[in-house]
A = this chain, B = another copy of it.
Amino acid sequence: MQVVPDFSVSPSQALLAGPDVRLDQLDPASKPGFDGGKQAGQARLAAGREALSGLQEKLFAESRFGSEISVLLILQAMDTAGKGGIVRHVVGAVDPQGVHHHAFKSPTAAEKRHHFLWRIRKELPGPGMIGVFDRSHYEDVLIARVRKLAAPPVIEERYEEIREFEAGLVSSGTHVIKVMLHLSKEEQKKRLSKRLERKDKHWKYSPGDLEERALWDEYQRAYQTAIERTSSPDAPWFVVPADRKWYARIAVQQLLIDVLTGMQLSWPKATFDVAAEKARLAAS
């Protein structure tokens, strides 16, 4: 039997970012809690796929018997940080029946006429589901702040609104995991360069990416503030170093596994008389 490399410290502890977070002191190339290298990481990812898939099935099964709990994974990051890879390689291990994925783009005209949380509420995961947000309501305090899409007092108010919104989610049974993929500016340059080199990657590139890149420091400050103001014990932020894709993937995978494990899920007990049903089936 092969031994699967494991974390020495769980990402749930090692990557937890509280109100005292200092983003500029966290190394995007580090791999907190994991001693192995890329190969060990890939073995970890493969083993974690099975674990995650099994846990999700129980979450789903319980919901069929009245449980209302669900999970919401929020992914935020600068371009090329690897949100898409997390979705493909981590979330992709889960039965598509049990996943509700939504990518939030720039708000439409109709969405802009509503409160910024309106479009978010419509995409929340139902009971038994794992919701995955590729970008989220945090854009309304990130790009909105950097690009001055709303007045400063409005932005200030939003942190409080987000805290209340998420507290409401948590109290109604949704476990919220907020992930910032923490990329270095140098690594982004390499990844954008790759997109320009490869014809099968051109579709992922937009000249606007460089305008966002030019505002790198402003974005880091906006992330710093967002995490300070909205990290809470019930809806915590995790800053996941993302310069090594393999590390970011196993870290987010483990965050999901830890949350699901903490739910102490079990197979629902039969609400029918098993022996009687066996007899009915035999006669059918």
Contacts and interface: CB of A to CB of B under 8 A. Distances in A.
Interface of A: 61, 64-65, 84, 87-88, 91-92, 94-97, 99, 101, 103, 132, 134, 189, 192-193, 196, 199-200, 202-207, 210, 213-214, 267-270, 272, 274, 277-278, 280-281, 284
A277 B64 CA distance: 51
A247 to B, nearest CB: 21
B92 A88 contact: no
Contacts of A210: 277, 280-281, 284
Task: Give the number of copies in the complex.
Answer: 2
A281 B188 CA distance: 10
A268 B202 CA distance: 7
Given A200-B267, A205-B272, A281 B95 contact: no
A192 to B, nearest CB: 5
B96 A203 contact: no
Contacts of A202: 267-270, 274
A128 to B, nearest CB: 11
A229 to B, nearest CB: 29
Nearest to A101: B96
A44 to B, nearest CB: 20
A207 B192 CA distance: 56
Contacts of A270: 199, 202, 205
A213 B94 CA distance: 30
Contacts of A267: 199-200, 202-203
Given A278-B193, A284-B189, A272 B96 contact: no
Nearest to A53: B88
Nearest to A62: B203
A270 B99 CA distance: 32
A106 to B, nearest CB: 14
